[in-house]
């Protein structure tokens, strides 16, 4: 089972990925989380990636693709994975397809989490994230039980560097020009399922689970 979560910044890929990974017992692979871990530990890859992430731009494919291929080859991803934030352009989608094919695997379903722009900005500007486990909170919509601490692991929660107004705008533009074409790309392959990303987190999870279990036929699920 290899599921892609596609959606604009703030659509809820990280939030939903966490629940889906628990439900299907396969890892959530977030290229954004892997890059941020590299930035934090100041690896060479992290230092290079930071320049792009701070601007809201995509990190170059040669960096991200190798990182992703290593990750999907890991033992815990043998039964599949939930891809959160990859692929982000047509080239990445093509590489992914070839890599999976070489492992005798394929993409099961592409879940497109659809949320309007105003709501995306609202979500991103109030987001807080756990430093340790990556769980996402929102100061208004989804506050942690204890201010500043993660409900799941008790670690400190913080605001991401790229959740500042200017960078949010840049990320949304990059999504529209580089990532949105994947909706058409996967629709043509019959793999795309559109999900209404507004509503309660649990309700959206149920809808996505339904869509995954039904398989893919490009229809809208609500």
Nearer to ligand AP5, 155 or 215 (CB): 155
> Least distance from C-beta 179 to ligand AP5, angstroms?
8
Does the protein bind Zn ion through residue 18 (CB under 5 A)? Answer: no
Q: Where does this chain bind Mg ion (CB under 5 A)?
A: 14
- Which residues, including other chains, have CB under 8 Å from residue 109's CB and lie 6 or more apart? 3, 4, 191, 193, 211, 212, 215, 216
Q: Select the binding partner of residue 133 from Zn ion, Mg ion, ligand AP5, none (C-beta < 5 to 8 A, by kind).
A: Zn ion
Cα–Cα nearest to 6, from 67, 77, 70, 90:
90
Binder among 29, 35, 110, 194 for ligand AP5 (CB under 6 A): 35
Non-local (6+) Cβ contacts of 118 within 8 A are none
Site for Zn ion in 141-200 (CB under 5 A): 150, 152-153, 155
Among positions 77-116, residues that touch ligand AP5 (CB under 6 A) are: 85-86, 88, 92
Are the C-beta atoms of 21 and 29 separated by less than 8 Å? Answer: no
Q: Give the 3-state secondary structure of residue 169.
A: helix
Return the HEC string of 135-149.
CEEECCCECCCCCCE
Q: Of these, 6, 14, 81, 112, which contacts ligand AP5 (CB under 6 A)? A: 14
**Should residue 144 be labelled a site residue for ligand AP5 when binding is judged by CB under 6 A?**
no
User: Catalytic annotation on 127?
Assistant: yes
Where would I find the H helices in the chain? 13-24, 31-40, 44-55, 61-72, 90-102, 117-125, 165-174, 181-188, 201-214
**Catalytic residue (one of 71, 88, 123, 193):** 88
Residues that bind ligand AP5 (CB under 6 A): 7, 9-15, 31-32, 35, 52-53, 56-59, 64, 85-86, 88, 92, 123-124, 127, 136-138, 141-142, 162, 171, 199, 201, 204
């Amino acid at each position: 089972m290899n599921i892609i979560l596609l959606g604009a910044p703030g659509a809820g890929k990280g939030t939903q990925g966490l629940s889906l990974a628990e439900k299907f017992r396969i890892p959530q692979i977030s290229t954004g989380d892997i890059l941020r871990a590299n930035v934090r530990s100041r690896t060479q890859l992290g230092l290079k990636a930071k320049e792009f992430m701070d601007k809201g731009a995509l990190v170059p494919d040669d960096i991200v693709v190798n990182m992703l291929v290593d990750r999907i080859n890991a033992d815990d991803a043998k039964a599949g994975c939930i891809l959160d934030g990859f692929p982000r352009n047509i080239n990445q989608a093509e590489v992914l397809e070839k890599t999976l094919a070489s492992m005798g695997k394929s993409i099961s379903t592409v879940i497109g989490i659809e949320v309007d722009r105003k709501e995306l900005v609202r979500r991103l500007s109030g987001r807080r994230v756990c430093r340790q486990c990556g769980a996402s909170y929102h100061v208004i919509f989804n506050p942690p039980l204890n201010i500043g601490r993660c409900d799941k692991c008790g670690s400190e929660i913080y605001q991401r560097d790229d959740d500042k107004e200017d960078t949010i705008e840049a990320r949304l533009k990059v999504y529209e020009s580089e990532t949105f074409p994947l909706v058409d790309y996967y629709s043509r392959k019959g793999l795309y399922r559109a999900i209404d990303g507004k509503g309660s987190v649990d309700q959206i999870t149920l809808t996505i689970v339904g869509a995954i279990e039904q398989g893919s036929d490009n229809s809208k699920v609500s």
